[in-house]
Structure formats: structure tokens, C-alpha cells
Amino acid sequence: MKRVFSLVAILAIIFASNCSRIPENNDPVIGIWYKTEVNTLSSTEKISLRKEWIFNDVYLGRYHRYEGNSLAFKTDYKWERNGDLYTISYPGTDMPPAVVRMKEGPDGVTLEDEKGVVLATRE
């Protein structure tokens, strides 16, 4: 009886694990996006800024902000897609959510807000 029960339990585990596949997310936003700027601190001193968004396939991501060559800030974020709009929210920070749309132009593929301001460019 123990062998029959063990066999049934093993078969149940095998069948349950085969049925629970995670659907593949092939959203075009998945990947690394960036924006670079140069801030003028004084008439002789400038510093480069790089913002980086790494979108993954489980609707999460990692945001980095570099000042010069050092990492100044990083946080995780959530993203969701509604039609052609992407909403990026940063829980646990004071950063406001961003609602952007993917646009293809002469400089490559960008994420732009509703006013046409570029948030990031695909790397």
C-alpha cells in the first residue's frame, strides 16, 4: 500500500509540474534603456549623468543613476502595459510614476511621455 501511495504521489508531482508553465513575455520594451545628460556645476566644472532602466520579462526592473563614474542611486520599479502606453512606478521612493509610449525615430527607439519628452533611448 505504501508503494502504491508513493507512486501516486510521485506521478501527481510530475503532472502538476508539467502543467504550470510560465507564459513567455516578449514585450518590445524588455531590455536596457538609457538617457545621458551633462550638468554644469560651474563655469569650469561639468559632470555627466546617466540614467538607466533595465526592463525584465516579469514586469519588474532596476533603475540606476550614475553621476560621473559612480553610482548615485538605484531602485527597483514595476512596469505595466496598457495598449501602447507603459506605466513605470517606483514604490518606496519619492520618484513620480512615468507614463510613456515607445516611438521609433531617426535616433533609434525611444520612450516618450505624452508631451514628446524623451525619457530614454534603447541601448
For residue 122, what is the enclosing H or E element? strand 118-122
28-32, 40-44, 114-118: lowest mean pLDDT where? 40-44
**pLDDT interval class at 81 (50, 70, 90):** very high
Here the cell at position 76 is 527597483
Report the pLDDT averaged over residues 16-21: 62
Please list, in sequence order, all residues whose beta carbon lies within 8 angstroms of the beta carbon of residue 90, skipping any fewer than 6 positions away: 63, 75, 76, 77, 97
- Per-residue cell: 68: 560621473
Domain limits of the chain? 24-122
User: pLDDT tens digits, residue range 90-117?
Assistant: 999 999 999 999 999 888 999 999 999 9
**Could you say which architecture CATH assigns to the domain 24-122?**
Beta Barrel (2.40)
* Percent of the chain topping pLDDT 70: 89
Q: For the segment 49-75, what is each residue's pLDDT rounded down to a tens digit?
A: 999 999 999 999 999 999 999 999 999
